[in-house]
Each structure stands twice: as C-alpha cells, then as structure tokens.
Structure 1
C-alpha cells in the first residue's frame, strides 16, 4: 500500500510541476474609437500575468509589435498601445479631411501562445492592416522567449549549429518548392537577395515543428502570398538548443 501511495504521490507531484511550469495568460481585447470617421481597429492578444521576468518581456515585446504596426507619426514618442491606437486613428482622420472619399482604414492583430515547454514559450501574432492603395498587408510575427533568462531570443539564439541549420533548411525549402538543388535559389522565380538562400525574419516553435515563414514581399511577390516551411523536431533536434522530443 505504501508503494502505491508513493507512486501516486510522485505522479501527482509530476503533474503539479508541469502545471506550475506553465505561464498564466489572460485574453485581452483593445478596440479603436467607434465613430463614423474612425478606422476599425481590433487587437486581441494574450497578456502574461505571472509577474516574472519572462512575462514582463513577453508583454513588452507584444506591445512593441503592436506599436510598430499601428504607429503613423514620427514627431511624438509613442510608448504604449493606447497611443499607437490614437496615432492610427488620427492619421486616418487627417487624411479623411483632405480626401473625403478615402476608403476606411482597418487594422486587426491577433496573438496566441502556440508553444510552451519548461524552457521556452512562443507567441504568434497575425496582423492585417489596410491604409489605402490596392490591397492591405498581412503578416505573421513569431516571438520566442527563454523562460529561465526571461529574455526574447533572436533567431540565431535558437540553435546550437546555426550554419548547419541554414544548410538543412535550404535543402528542405528547395525540395518543398521544387527548386533543383544544383540551380540558383531564384531559378523558379523567388527573389532572395543576392541570389542566396537566407532564413526568414520569423521562425517559431509550434506543436507540429519549427515553422519558418516568409511574409509577403520577403522572398516572393505579393500575389504569391506567405511562404511557410515546417520542419519536424525529429529532423532538426541536432541543430536546436531547446530540443523537443515527439
């Protein structure tokens, strides 16, 4: 009986530790001003609540991304999300007074936690904005955080063997996009700068694998849309600092 109790206690402790290792988030929604001459703005993001260093880093980085998407003025210090919403709104109102037929602007930002383990947490932000012209612009942003150091990670900090990963990723990219391995990376119409393969600006951990996503215009035309490559952890663990067992 004691043996069974010990096993039960150990199992309960394991579940408790796994639960405690997870960060706590609450969904947060921010809306733009509601008026006839106001752009439509909807921001839905997870807000980290733990008060830890990594939670503070997450909230700060998400705020910075929102500010960069919505800010339209350079003559003032926009240091919080509310000011960014005001900047987007005021910019449209000013344009509307000069051009009454201006099509309404809009901005939508949706964020979610797409991966978390004891060492790392990844957030994904999908955004869409329309500020006139032929079409709007959609993009995906990945934010990866080291839970122990409490810092956001640059792409190269995700790897033990960064150069080796680049070579592997290029091979897989060529296979997926049917680019012959012995031809120029732009042979089939891509637009890699300098005719050389490079990783995208956004790389993120997901439950399916590490996702590489080239946003519109990054290596292809707008019409081609975003280009995504998902690499299973079983294939890339040798290159990663934070290895994932599946």
Structure 2
C-alpha cells in the first residue's frame, strides 16, 4: 500500500513538471494580410503556451500594429479592432487618396516587423519596427520596445525595469555621449534623459531614441547598448 502511494506521488510529480513545460511561452512568426491587400506587410511574433499569458502578450502586440497603421487621430472611435481590419482600412484610405488625386504618382506602403530580442524566465523583450509611407516627402520609421513579465504576460514599464534611475543614468551617460559624438550639432547635450524605448537584449540593455525624440529627422535613430555586467545592480530583472 505504501509503495502504491509513493508510486502515485512519483507519477503526479512528473505529470506536474510535464504540464509546466508544456505551458512555457514560446513564439512563432506569423504573417497577417487581408483580401486584395498589396501595400501592407505585417510579420510579427505570436505567443503560445499558457492561454492567459499568451493572450496578454499577443493583445499588446496587436494594439501596437493597429496604432502604427491607423490614419488620423489615434483617439478616434473608428480605430480598428483587429490587425486585418487595420490593413483593410489602410488600403481603403489609399484608394480614397488615389480617387481624390488620380494624377498623383505617390504610392503608399507599410511594413511592420516584430522580433523577440530577449527571453528569460523573468522577462521577454520584443521589438516592433514599423515603416509607414503615406505619400509624404519621406516615410515614417518607428521602433518600439515591449517588455513583458514572463510569468504574467503583462507589460513592464520602463520605471519598473530600473531600481535606481539616477545611478543608472551615470553609467548610461558616457554611452549616450559616444553614440551622439558625430551628431552633437543636432542633439541637445545640455541634459540627458532616458529614452522612451528601453529593452533587454542578448548583448545588454538597449536604449533607443526614435527620430524627433531628441533631435530632428535628419539625425535618425540613436541607439546604444550597455553591457549587463556594468548595470546589473540597477536592474530589477535578472539578465540570466
């Protein structure tokens, strides 16, 4: 009888371990399009595993893609409810533009790509790169980082990535100065503020300033990486 109980406990333990392994979040790349679409391409990661965690991650990625494809006021009630609907709406806006200006040679296009740039038991970092051209002098390139709590799928804000911002900034400032060494004429160097986009990567913590964030369009994107071993004491999440 005792042997039987031990056997049941032994089997239950391995079933529990196996279930946890199955529930581990994984990612695959998906391509999303819509009927008669020829000007929008969307390639993004899709989370799988624990349904709640995966839904939280996928929902946030979807919202970011929808926002990138939206034409007009982002607070408009007409914002699409899905990526496919956003693609259709983008195509519709372009067709309306062509109808209003039949002689124009301007073309619209949009390319959105997502990539998982870091995974650990604690945190998942994803980069979403969007390029949207609606016929202006140049298209709009924007990179957004999303950091997720690996145990819940909830987004981690920048303020919850770093436990001592002022100490962290002292380490980051020399890297910032090096990154803008050839761009100081266009970048305001009087003050140093952390960017809107910070994420984990295999090389270290990535800090990225999009165009117009601290400099004019001509300066382009400013990006640099700080190795983990230099900032480990200031990170809320382990880098291993």
TM-score, normalised relative to structure 2: 0.82
Aligned twin of 1:94:
96
SS at match of 2:236: coil
- In the alignment, does 2:35 pair up with 1:44? no
Aligned twin of 2:132:
129
CA contact (8 A) 1:95 1:102 kept: no
The number of residue pairs the alignment matches comes to 219
Moved more, 218-227 or 203-212: 218-227
Structure-to-structure mapping, 1:58-97, within 5 angstroms = 58-73=57-72, 74-97=76-99
Aligned twin of 1:23:
25
Aligned twin of 1:6:
none
Cα deviation code 1:81-114 (max 9, x no counterpart): 1221122111111111111115120000111111
For 1:142 and 1:175, how far apart are their aligned partners in 2? 22
For 1:191 and 1:31, how far apart are their aligned partners in 2? 41
Structure-to-structure mapping, 1:135-150, within 5 angstroms = 135-150=138-153
Aligned twin of 2:215:
220
- In the alignment, does 2:193 pair up with 1:190? no
Cα deviation code 1:52-78 (max 9, x no counterpart): 433212101100101111112535242
CA-CA distance at 1:26 after TM superposition: 2.1
TM-score, normalised relative to structure 1: 0.80
Q: Identify the match of residue 121 of structure 2 among 115, 118, 123.
A: 118
For 1:149 and 1:32, how far apart are their aligned partners in 2? 31
List runs of 5+ in structure 2 lacking aligned partners.
Answer: 1-17
SS at match of 1:115: strand
Aligned twin of 2:55:
56
List runs of 5+ in structure 1 lacking aligned partners.
Answer: 1-15, 180-185
Aligned twin of 2:195:
200
For 1:226 and 1:121, how far apart are their aligned partners in 2? 23
CA-CA distance at 1:21 after TM superposition: 7.8
CA-CA distance at 1:196 after TM superposition: 2.3
- In the alignment, does 2:208 pair up with 1:209? no
For 1:206 and 1:51, how far apart are their aligned partners in 2? 23
For 1:187 and 1:178, how far apart are their aligned partners in 2? 6
RMSD: 2.4
CA contact (8 A) 2:171 2:230 kept: no
Q: Identify the match of residue 164 of structure 1 among 154, 162, 167.
A: 167
